[in-house]
Chains A and B, each alone.
Chain A
Amino acid sequence: MEALRDVSAGLRWYELWLTLGWRDVLLRHRRSKLGPLWISISMGFVAGCMGTLYSAIMQRSPHDYIPYLVAGFTVWNLLSAIVNDGKEVFVANAAAIREIPVPNTVYVYRFLWRNTLILGYNILVYLIVLVIFQVSPFPALALAIPALILILLNGVWVGLLLGLINVRFRDFGHMIPSAMRLAFFVTPIIWYASSVSGLRAAFVHFNPLYYFIEIFRAPLLGEAPSALVWGVTLGITILGWGVTLPIYAHWRRQIAYWV
């Protein structure tokens, strides 16, 4: 119950975390003229360079491959940021946690909002790609909204759980980025799920990240995600919250001592 109260109390501090999240994005590009547009530019390079090279390697037409790559990469950027920033959520806010009594979930909403804004800059490139390759993702595109909400809903428990583990066991934080780097290559983002079969298909079927990529990428490409994808992601959402809430409720008071 106390954990849930933290979750809702944090929402009431929206003016604080909206401000902090937006400042985070601007701060990263301080003194640069283009500012956060650099996020879009680097995604543009991915589309242009990786898109043309890998479409040849994968033997796909750039017309199909580049929208697929940009959509997948955009979703991946969000997912990997949720995991990588999520584990830092308490460590990165140590100064605030020691000085100011605001609900800990404020810091979770801060990093989720920051990464939603970054997603927005990546989506700009996706929109340009749609125009160039004349892809029309309607009407399935509307499903991108519930997909995003579901991903962010998972972001809350991921932040609370990984943040809590990392604040106590710092080695955990060093392990995650390398695990995520590996996950990028074994998850169908630059390659297609349909191109592996047999035992290797385990990297698709037993990879939770695949389902979270697919739930958002499919609508971006004008396809409806399958019932299996919705089922697995919903299941993970329920499981994740179910595991996190009691753990967070038990240890939340220790966070101030551990940071």
Chain B
Amino acid sequence: MPLIRLENVTLDFPLVSTKSRKAALQSQSPGTAVGGQLAAAQSGQLRVRALEGLSLSLNPGDRLALIGHNGAGKSTLLRVMAGLYAPTQGQAVVVGRVAPLLNLSFGLDMEATGLDNIFVRGLFLGMSRAEIKEKLNSIAEFSELGEFLDLPMRTYSSGMRARLAFAISTHVDADILLLDEVVATGDAAFFRKASQQLENVASQAKILVLASHSNKVLRGLCNKAVLLEHGRLKAIGAVDEVLEAYKSASV
């Protein structure tokens, strides 16, 4: 059974370059609207606190919306859930196969054909060649790219790339799907299709976590939301309530 449990997760980014250390210290001002919190660690090295004391637990069927300003920690939180970043303090328990779709251009080779890219990205997501071959038709169909799949990716528009990347990631037999601001790239028809696919994913007792600035996307797809502010959890609850809280906090 898929599961995500975060207990008191704090995550500091070390700033290893001395130049940025100085620049960051000078620009340090309390209460900036965006970004994490800057702080000097005990060693004197500057750190960006991207997440602080965050506790959260997700169960099968949960479709979580991540809401917050730029730099509030949404993408970092997704990366913790993907197992890419180990928390500085606290604990992150993730049970199940994770399929992250955090960056649309990742692993896509612009010179290679769409078909070729399905294989590379599919392998990265943990599918076997045989599995990809089996799902090839279904991925191709979902992307609606048709003959474009035989052309180099550089001929694709960003919406077309999003379709392909999305199609591959949602065809992995994953338990947990992590999406970072991707569905919004497509057109209305694709949005409907993507919603349906994500409903599908969620109905199979899987977990979906989605970060987006589009209220329409979040309302349409999620059944739960958290509001992040400077890496801290400000609110958690139904999507509409949290969006309301976000709106009143921003004004």
Interface residues in chain A, defined as those with a beta carbon under 8 Å from any beta carbon in chain B: 13, 15-16, 19-20, 23, 27, 30, 95-102, 168, 253-254, 256-258
Contacts and interface: CB of A to CB of B under 8 A. Distances in A.
B16 A98 contact: no
Contact of A100 (B86, B107, B109, B119): B107
Given A15-B123, A98-B103, A101-B82, 7 more contacts: A15-B129, A16-B123, A19-B120, A95-B106, A101-B83, A102-B126, A168-B16
Query: Which of B14, B84, B119 has the most A CB atoms < 10 Å from its CB?
Result: B84
Contacts of A23: 109, 120
B120 A256 contact: no
Given A30-B111, A99-B107, A16 B16 contact: no
Contacts of B106: 95-96, 99-100
Nearest to B12: A257
A96 B128 CA distance: 18
Contacts of A254: 14
B107 A96 contact: yes
Contacts of A102: 124, 126
A3 to B, nearest CB: 14
A interface majority secondary structure: helix
Contact of B14 (A27, A97, A99, A257): A257
Select the residue from B13, B98, B107 with max chain A CB neighbours within 10 A. B107
A73 B19 CA distance: 42
Contacts of B128: 15
B11 to A, nearest CB: 9
Interface in B93-120: 98, 100, 102-103, 106-107, 109, 111, 119-120
Contacts of A13: 123, 126
Contacts, number: 60
Nearest to B87: A253
A19 B13 contact: no
A99 B129 contact: no
Top 4 closest A-B pairs, CB basis?
A253-B86, A16-B123, A99-B106, A101-B83
Contacts of B84: 97-101, 256
Interface in B125-167: 125-126, 128-129
Contacts of A168: 16
B5 interface: no
A258 B15 CA distance: 9
Contacts of B119: 19
A98 B13 contact: no
18 contacts: A13-B123, A13-B126, A15-B128, A16-B124, A19-B123, A23-B120, A96-B106, A97-B84, A99-B107, A100-B107, A100-B124, A100-B125, A101-B82, A101-B100, A102-B124, A254-B14, A257-B85, A258-B14
B79 interface: yes
Most buried by B among A15, A30, A102, A258: A15
Contacts of B102: 98-99
Nearest to B127: A15
A23 B125 CA distance: 17
